[in-house]
A and B are shown apart, each in its own frame.
Chain A
Amino acid sequence: MTSRAGPVWWSLALSEEVTDKKPLAVDIGDQPIVLWRDKQGIARALEDRCPHRRAPLSLGCIRDNGWIQCGYHGWSYEGDTGRLKEIPNMKDEQRFPPVYKAIPFGVEESGGFVRVSLDAKAIPPDPQQRTMPLSGTAHVPLEQAHWLDALYDDPGLVIAIKGVDFTPYLMSELREENGVFMMERSCLWGKLHWPSFAISDFPITLLSRTQPETGETELTLRDDAFNTLLTVQLAPVAAARGVTQVRWRAELGKSLKGRHARRLARGTPFSVREVIDAAALRVLKPSVSLHGRKLREALNSAPAVAAAA
């Protein structure tokens, strides 16, 4: 899978989910992938399919030397190239032709996320410097494009921030800036307030910045004094059967003023809804998401125009 910017890197797992104890099964669309950490602690990604008898490698185990071993017949693979390294009881005949390999994928890890590219030779993106301490994983029974549309049109259907009521009023509409889709939504604290249509000024806003290729979105909750209250990094990845796997990391702002803001620090301030109100979703009129589609179309057609020129 590539975009106009080259191979796409998907945030497929949180760093803490990938261990040297147990393989992790994930997927990009219909492509099953197994992740694990080798002896050096490097995250590895292979197709989750043993080329011997097609059993999922994720049902196997990680050996002490960092190879992944299929749980069916015990074939062992090295993570970097996917080359077969050992068949049990083959004794001293452990040299195999290069074709004896599982399909490897590119892996990059930074900022508490493990990113995978289906192109093993893809150049990794610039590493993220910051790792946010809070994290979570949710599986949502909604296709990724619909999930992102809902995030634009009514975030309250797909995410929740403690004590925050998302309004339909935007401080700035969705636009593209340097290849990133940005928008800012007005929000209210709690449920006890005047209806949002009758409020002159909103105490908080939610700024969102979305990478158009992957849908990775950074949310920033700010108060009217421009203090950052919460930052969330969302990584929605299209998985099998139309499910979207959403992994996120978050951190609280340094200055939490007011009782509502301080409440954010108690317990988990953010969550992704795994159960979606389908009746509300069905009647949700597309508004911001319409702009999103146009922006994506414009982005996708840009290289063609440039090439034609």
Chain B
Amino acid sequence: MLEVADRQFEADSTPTAPTRASGPSLNAVNNWVPHDIVMRDAWFPIAHAPHVGKKPLRRAIYSQPYFIWREDGRIVGSEFHPNEQRTREKSPYSDANGRYPMMEHYGVVWAWFGNPKAADPVHLPSLPFLPPNGGLPGYMTATVRFDCSAPVSLENLIDLTHADFLHADVVGDEKSDSETVETYWDSETVTMVRTCTNKSVAPIMKFFSGIRQPTQNVRQVIRIYLRSHCAIAYGRFTPGDDVPLFHPCTPETRDRTRMEMVMNTSNAGFMFRHIMPKAGYKVSRQDSSMTSPQSPRYMLPTTRKDLHSKFDQAGQRYRLQMMELAGRQAAGDFDYRDNVSADCSDIIGLRKELFQF
């Protein structure tokens, strides 16, 4: 059962939402200015739960200050530092006391950004491979920053062909007998399934998981929760291990991103279990080498169209769904039309027997 940590939530009093727009135009995918998108009324992961103690930690969502600490073991989130002399007005994102709706779930601290009265645990993304009450060892977690906008980072993630080049030394190169990409979506999520047969074996599995075969079949799923800027990256490698990753991209500002990642490798062998989560530090630097120079080139509208291939369908769909949602929010419609907290195990093809909590 999900609970709001520090306050009773009330029913959303937002007026009835307008009818669904007809959707972005065909050319919308090229009008992509992610820097302009600010998503409201969503839970954002802002800290690993074990990191939060009595001393306030400072975080930000879209530059909005969040100070978080524990009072009697419960998470508290405030717009103001307890020692701060208030020289500014409270924002509409917190309650009368300057407190935010906060949650602690999956071993992560979640902060609500938006209308505090609309905060509802039912809007928390489903992450079925993480224990609901946390408790994974610290070595399976990491904090990584990207100096790019959060949607650029997520679009990078959902087009996994980049991994064959940027991360070839970790997950293997692009050589495979076949590759297919399928995309599924609703108003709150985009899910991409990439299936490769006889793909070059991931070097990290060769060295730390003892895979001796030269190739492996790979099924990779990326599921993005649009509002929360969170993703699941779940790889099933045969032969090899199941590697489910919680890959949030919290927009601390509109063009700087924080990732409180959690990789549940508890079913892998000793070496791989410990090494693989650390690969996040290397992989994130490789991603940053591209997304850092890439991000400023998406800050301003341009008449020049991006080129696309058939492998970009998931990324294009991500752009369209984000713009549709941003358009709805701009029109005052903040309602959730699909349930993001419903168990997505079947959607991502999770081998539940490996992740019993």
Contacts and interface: CB of A to CB of B under 8 A. Distances in A.
A71 B307 contact: no
Contact of B293 (A56, A84, A90, A100): A56
A88 interface: yes
A213 to B, nearest CB: 28
B324 interface: no
A5 B89 CA distance: 61
Contacts of B161: 73-74, 88-89
Interface string B276-308: 000000000000011001100110000010111
Interface stretch (B54-62, B162-170, B242-250, B337-345): B162-170
B8 to A, nearest CB: 45
B162 A52 contact: no
A51 interface: yes
A72 B290 contact: yes
Nearest to A58: B293
Interface residues of B, number: 24
A42 to B, nearest CB: 25
A59 B308 contact: no
B309 interface: yes
Given A51-B307, A84-B307, A74 B294 contact: no
B95 interface: no
A169 to B, nearest CB: 48
A72 B307 contact: no
Contacts, number: 60
Contact of A90 (B290, B307, B309): B309
A72 B164 contact: no
A251 B294 CA distance: 42
B174 A72 contact: no
A88 B294 contact: no
Contacts of B297: 49, 54
Question: SS class of chain B's interface: helix, strand, loop or mixed?
Answer: helix
A90 B310 CA distance: 9
A87 B181 CA distance: 15
A130 interface: no
Interface in B135-159: 155, 159
Interface residues of A, number: 21
B293 A59 contact: yes
Contacts of B293: 55-56, 59
A90 B179 CA distance: 9
B176 interface: yes
A71 B290 CA distance: 8
Contact of A74 (B165, B289, B307): B165
Given A73-B159, A73-B165, A52 B176 contact: no
Interface in A60-92: 70-75, 84, 87-90
Interface string B308-330: 11111000000000000000000
Contacts of A59: 289-290, 293
A173 B176 CA distance: 69
A227 B307 CA distance: 59
User: Lowest 6 A-B CB distances belong to which pairs?
Assistant: A54-B297, A88-B174, A72-B290, A74-B165, A51-B307, A55-B290
Given A87-B311, A90-B309, 13 more contacts: A52-B308, A54-B298, A55-B293, A59-B289, A72-B162, A73-B162, A73-B165, A75-B309, A84-B307, A87-B309, A88-B161, A90-B310, A99-B307
24 contacts: A51-B304, A52-B306, A52-B312, A53-B155, A53-B294, A54-B294, A54-B298, A55-B293, A55-B294, A56-B293, A59-B289, A59-B290, A72-B165, A72-B166, A72-B294, A73-B161, A73-B165, A73-B311, A74-B164, A74-B174, A87-B311, A88-B161, A89-B161, A90-B310
